[in-house]
A and B are shown apart, each in its own frame.
Chain A
C-alpha cells in the first residue's frame, strides 16, 4: 500500500552513485537495488549496464554478477533493514512452525529465539555456510509440514481479508441506516409541523388550544412508536450480525503435520504427532448380532410328527401361531445355562465360606444339556 509509488519525495540532491546524475537534473529518477549485493543505482544505469545480459556490479570493490530481472525498488529506507527482511522472508518460509505444534509455550519461545539467532547469523554473515546447510537439511526433511503450514497461513490471510471486507460493508450499511433514520425523523417532524399549521390556519380560533394539545400528543406517540420500531430493527440486525459472525468464525483446522517428527533433531520441543486409528463403522448393538446364538443355529424346520400335523393345519396357523417361535423358545430353554460352570462356582463358594450347603445345581445343568443335544 505504502510504497507503491516510490518517487514521491526524496532529497532534491540525491545522486546516483554510478552515473552521478542527480535528482535535480532528472526529477523522475528512480533507484533500484539488486538483492545480490544491495547496491543502489538509478534506473537508467540498470538499463545501460544490464540490458545486454548479466554483468558485474559497477560499484567499486563489488564483483557480484547481477541480472536485470532481479532489480527491484527498495521498500525500506535503510538498506540493512531491507536485506534483513529479505533474509527473514526466506527463513520464515522454511521455519514456519506454529505455536500449536509445540509442547509448551516455553518450547515455542525457544524456537522463536533459535529462528531469530539463525536470521541474525545470516545477516551478520557469521557461520553462513553452516547455517545454510542446516536450513537446507531441515527444508528437505520437512517438506510436507512446511507446505501444510504455508497453506494454512494463506487460508488465514484470505479469511481475515474476507472478514475485514465484510465488516467494512456492514459498517457502511449501518451508517447508511443511521442517516436514513435521521432523515426520516426530520421529514416526519416537518410534515407534522406543516400539517399542524394548515389545520390551525383553516380551523376556527376556538379549538386552537385543543388542536395544539392534540398535535403535541400525536407527535409524541409517533416518536415513541418510531422508537420502538427502531429498537426492533436494531435487534434484528444484531441477531443477524451475530449469526454471520458465527458462520465466519468457524475455527480453522490445524494442519496435520505428517513428518513433523523428522525435524525433531533440529527443532526441540515439538509435540509428538500420534496418527489416530481409522475409525470403525458404528455398531449399535456393540457386537451383538440379533439371530446369532452361541451354541446352536436354528434350522428352518425340525422333523417331528406332532408338529408336522400342526404345520399342515391351517386353522392353527390362521390365528398367528408360528412354529418358528416355538422352535426358538424351546431351543433357548434347552441351551440356557450352558455358559455357567457350576463346579467352578462351587469351588469358589467353598473357598470363600468353608461351611456351605451345596445345592445339587450341577444335575440341573446336565439335564438341560442333554435336551439341547437331542434337539440339535
Chain B
C-alpha cells in the first residue's frame, strides 16, 4: 500500500484533474492499489483523507448522483476555487508582509503558512519595532463572517449569540467583535478572548453593514458598558484620590467629573450595567477609590471587602 502522503497527493491531483465528479469506487479504481479492498476499510480511509484535505483548506465539492448511479456521492475540486489568485506582489511588497508578520510575533504558524503561499520564505528579519498581536481561534471565522456578511453564532457568557459582525478591533491589547446582535436587536461589542468554543459562520450576503460604520466610533467609550447588562444602567458616584485623579479622568472623560476638591480629589459619575465589572474596576484602584452611592452599590462593595477582610 502507498505511503499516506503519496495517496493524499494522488487523491488531490485526481480530484483537481477530473472533469466529472467521481464516486469512491471510481477513485479507488483510478488510484489502483492505494485504498483497501474491503469496502468498510476503504470508506474509512477515504473519509480520513477527505477530512485531512478539508482541514488544509481544500474545497472538495460533493454531490449525490442521479440515474444509474442514483444515491451515490461523487467528489471533485473546482480548480478556480482551489487556487490562490495571482496577487502580483512586487518584491518590496512581499518583504513588507514578511516584516509585518515577524513584527506581529503571534505564537501560531498561520502567518508563515500564508507567507509561503505568497512566495515569502521563513527567514526572519531583525526587528527594532514590533507589536504583539494576540491570536485566538475565534478570530479567523469572525473576520470571514464580517467580510462575507454572514451571521456568526457563538457562546459568550454561557449564552448563544447570533451576531451580524461588522468588524474586529484590537484596542488596548484586546480583540473585540462588534456587530448587530439578533436577539438584542442592537449593536453590541464582545471581547473575543471570552468567546467560548467554536464560531459557526452562516450564509453569506445575509446583512448589510451600515454605510457610515466606523468601528472606532461605535466602540463603547466606557469598558464598563461591555458585555451583557444584568440590570438597568445605574449611575454610580465614586470618589477618586488626588494621586489617581488625572488617570481616572482621562479614562472616564472630563464630563464624568462631577466635583473637584482643592486637594486634587475628584468625584466621578460612571455607568454601572454589570456589577462584577464595576466592582472589579473600583477595586483595581484599591484605597484610591470609594463608592459614594447609590447605597446598594456602596454596600455591595463594602460587603465584598468585609468578606475578604474577615477571611484572614
Partners in one complex: no
